[in-house]
């Protein structure tokens, strides 16, 4: 009897094991074929590629490897969790592929982040591949991801979403743990506009591009993408974190109707940015502050007000030539003329940060037209300028199909007339020669298509030329303060003693939003920040100090604020000289090693003595930047970064599997008992 029961138990165990093993075998086979691409895939209606850069930062990279609590990671995890749990339609995987490259931030097991590829379905997330520690700011990685998706998940239409920080013409998707190609400093490597364009073009192009980033609606970027993207959705201004939840809305709609055309999906993406359904509720308005729907095919083929065909790119090229020619009619007089026009186009920090050096394109053209009577070529300017304004006014068949921005509403946070002059495209136009603060990629602007195909870059660089070589000999006697090398996010401040205290150096936050971040509080001072070599030099005329009553009275204090520094134990060289003409009257130098977060200071006295650089107490904690996410309501189990290689079984499938197994066991027991009675 005991032997018979033992055999019966063994039979039940083997049957149950076979049932579960068959499921595991199917899952592992799917994983194998997805990774190797050896199985012929059906061509579905859509493949949507989500490039999720969660190995990111709240604001600056710092000396710690641990960036696990950044709000980008929280929002992107919430998006994937929401898609599989609620928003993707059941059965939509037969018409729609949703593939995500998710680069997770720091963990104790993966201190430099770890990128994995998943397929997201209704109530299921399937692990596909492990790319390890990956630089999402490398254009080759983006190209590899697009090629991977197209090879393994072919479709009639393709959409690509980039989700992370963005800086318009200066790039997207900043990888916290990847080294910056030019500097070991504060932002990490990123995808330049040129890299994004090359990656999409080399992989065969996409039908729709969603830029769920800040400052995505860059004219330079859209110009770059015209040969590889048909439609795009992005916002020209800074955004709130809510744009990171955008895929929940447009993929819910696409999964319900995968027969959408690319134009219809882009329109849906725009509509859901204006009135989203699935974003966290908090004190921010629900919509994006600004968002536009771009038709990039219209850059080379659109229609004029008379209905005749016109090439939008060629019209803009001609307009740039008119500006450039006008500037060189009399460059001495025209530089301040154009600088004055540029500074009529001022924007709130909530639209473009002072360091972004951006203006709204149509707003600028309209401002130029108000000065047309001052142009030598007035007729040409008015003709081309008016045509550009018409072509930049939203409409089907135009470069901007639709545009929305927050209305003035005193009861809404982050709204108001500050967005009134946002019309769809941002473009770079600095108001000083202190250019490219924090956007340090040597020659990256000159290498973009808009710079090689138009004279726009020649124009803006001629309005604000690079400063001459130091020293500036028109100052008869001066103090020269020189520091090198220096991380660009380290601030140099010089305070001249007196009442009131005079300041030279980086502006306090929000103090002068239109100054490009440099404050010159002393007449005659020269300030040069050479970002490409990491050197900062300040020249202060001795006439700025006034009469001295004591021989040892402090003249000025030098403060080096490394609160945002990314590199610990960095060496700093400081030199102070008193110069008259070509003669150095006095000079003193010192070196110091500082840690990230320190503030070092010293004093120079009227009898030409310099004290040692000493650390100060760190400043009081300031309010976090606007991009910091408020507390999230995302479920705590939303993380996906530690999923098993076979993914997880959806609830409905798990119930079905358990039920069938239970029925099998009951049937076997009934049969055995009947035999026993016989």
Say if residue 531 is in the same domain as residue 571: yes
In a domain, 470, yes or no: no
pLDDT at 526: 79
Say if residue 202 is in the same domain as residue 250: yes
Number of domains making up the chain: 3
Kindly report, residue by residue over 5-17, the tens digit of the pLDDT.
444 544 444 444 4
Say if residue 319 is in the same domain as residue 290: no
Residue with tokens 């194998």: 32
Query: Is the Cα torsion angle 108, 110, 115, 120 positive or negative in sign?
Result: negative
Say if residue 442 is in the same domain as residue 489: no
pLDDT at 34: 38
For 58-87, letters b (16+ CB in 10 Å) and e give: bbbbbeeeebbebbbbbbbbbbbbbbbbeb
Say if residue 491 is in the same domain as residue 360: no
> How many CB atoms within 10 Å of residue 271?
18
Of 164, 563, 169, 531, nearest in space to 356 by CA = 169
**CB within 8 Å of 536: residues ≥ 6 apart:** 482, 483, 484, 486, 492, 527, 528, 529, 530
Burial of residue 183 (number of CB atoms within 10 Å: 0-12, 13-18, 19+): buried
| CATH number, domain containing residue 172 | 3.40.50.11970
Say if residue 353 is in the same domain as residue 454: yes
Give the residue ranges of the chain where pLDDT is below 50: 1-7, 9-40, 185, 415, 436-438, 440, 469-475, 509-516, 548-550, 619-662, 665, 668, 670-672, 674-678
Say if residue 145 is in the same domain as residue 194: yes
| CATH number, domain containing residue 607 | 2.60.60
Say if residue 448 is in the same domain as residue 566: no
In a domain, 667, yes or no: no
Say if residue 122 is in the same domain as residue 174: yes
Burial of residue 500 (number of CB atoms within 10 Å: 0-12, 13-18, 19+): exposed
pLDDT at 60: 63
Kindly report, residue by residue over 354-395, the tens digit of the pLDDT.
667 899 999 999 999 999 999 999 999 999 999 999 999 999
In a domain, 670, yes or no: no
Q: Which pair of structure tokens corresponds to residue 584?
A: 């150095």
Say if residue 333 is in the same domain as residue 249: no
In a domain, 344, yes or no: yes
Four-point Cα dihedral 58, 289, 488, 465, nearest 10: 170
Residue with tokens 């209305």: 407
In a domain, 570, yes or no: yes
Could you tell me the pTM of the whole model? Answer: 0.70
In a domain, 11, yes or no: no
What residue numbers bound the domain in which 184 lies? 42-300
């Amino acid at each position: 009897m005991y032997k018979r029961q033992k055999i019966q138990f063994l039979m039940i165990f083997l049957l149950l094991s076979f049932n579960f093993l068959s499921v595991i075998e199917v899952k592992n086979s799917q994983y194998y074929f997805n990774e190797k691409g050896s199985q012929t895939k059906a061509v579905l209606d859509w493949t949507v590629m989500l490039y999720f850069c969660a190995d990111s930062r709240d604001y600056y990279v710092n000396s710690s490897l641990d960036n696990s609590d950044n709000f980008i990671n929280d929002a992107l995890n919430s998006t994937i969790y929401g898609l599989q749990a609620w928003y993707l339609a059941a059965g939509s995987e037969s018409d729609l592929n949703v593939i995500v490259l998710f680069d997770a931030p720091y963990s104790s097991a993966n201190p430099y982040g770890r990128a994995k590829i998943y397929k997201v379905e209704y109530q299921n997330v399937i692990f596909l591949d492990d790319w390890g520690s990956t630089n999402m700011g490398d254009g080759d990685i983006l190209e590899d991801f697009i090629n991977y998706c197209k090879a393994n998940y072919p479709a009639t239409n393709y959409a690509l979403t980039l989700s992370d920080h963005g800086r318009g013409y200066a790039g997207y998707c900043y990888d916290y743990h990847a080294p910056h190609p030019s500097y070991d400093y504060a932002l990490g490597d990123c995808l330049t506009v040129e890299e994004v364009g090359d990656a999409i073009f080399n992989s065969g192009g996409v039908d729709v591009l969603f830029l769920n980033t800040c400052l995505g609606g860059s004219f330079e970027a859209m110009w770059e993408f015209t040969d590889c993207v048909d439609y795009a959705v992005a916002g020209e201004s800074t955004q709130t974190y809510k744009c990171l939840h955008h895929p929940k809305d447009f993929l819910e709609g696409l999964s319900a109707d995968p027969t959408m055309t690319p134009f219809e999906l882009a329109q849906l993406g725009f509509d859901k940015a204006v009135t989203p359904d699935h974003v966290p509720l908090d004190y921010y308005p629900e919509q994006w502050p600004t968002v536009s729907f771009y038709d990039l095919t219209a850059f080379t083929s659109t229609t004029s007000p008379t209905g005749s065909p016109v090439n939008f790119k060629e019209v803009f090229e001609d307009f740039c030539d008119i500006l450039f020619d006008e500037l060189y009619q009399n460059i001495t007089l025209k530089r301040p003329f154009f600088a004055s026009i540029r500074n009529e186009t001022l924007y709130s920090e909530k639209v473009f940060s002072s360091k972004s050096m951006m203006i709204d394109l149509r707003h600028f053209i309209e401002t130029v037209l108000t000065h047309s009577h001052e142009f030598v070529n007035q007729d040409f300017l008015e003709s081309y300028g008016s045509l550009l304004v018409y072509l930049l006014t939203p409409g089907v068949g135009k470069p901007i199909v639709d545009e929305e921005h927050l209305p003035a509403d005193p009861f809404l946070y982050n709204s108001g007339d500050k967005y009134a002059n946002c019309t769809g495209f941002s473009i770079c136009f600095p108001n000083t020669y202190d250019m490219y603060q924090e956007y340090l990629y040597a020659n990256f602007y000159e290498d973009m298509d808009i710079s090689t195909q138009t004279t726009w870059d020649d124009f803006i660089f001629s309005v604000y030329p690079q400063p001459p070589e130091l020293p500036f000999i028109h100052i008869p006697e001066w103090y020269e303060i020189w520091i090198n090398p220096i991380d660009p996010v380290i601030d140099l401040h010089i305070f001249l003693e007196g009442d009131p205290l005079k300041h030279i150096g980086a502006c306090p936050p929000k103090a002068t939003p239109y100054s490009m971040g440099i404050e010159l509080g002393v007449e005659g001072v020269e300030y040069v920040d050479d970002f490409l070599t990491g050197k900062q030099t300040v020249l202060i005329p001795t006439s700025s100090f006034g009469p001295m009553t004591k021989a040892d009275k402090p003249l000025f204090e030098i403060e080096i604020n490394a609160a945002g520094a990314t590199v610990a134990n960095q060496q700093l060289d400081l030199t102070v000289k008193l110069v008259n003409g070509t003669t150095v009257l006095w000079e003193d130098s010192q070196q110091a090693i500082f840690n990230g977060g320190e503030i070092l200071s010293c004093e120079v006295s009227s009898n030409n003595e310099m004290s040692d650089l000493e650390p100060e107490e760190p400043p009081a904690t300031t309010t976090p930047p606007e991009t910091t996410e408020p507390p999230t309501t995302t479920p705590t189990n939303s993380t996906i970064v530690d999923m098993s290689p076979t993914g997880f079984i959806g609830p409905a499938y798990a119930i079905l599997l358990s039920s069938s197994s239970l029925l099998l066991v009951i049937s076997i027991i009934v049969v055995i008992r009947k035999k026993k009675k016989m």
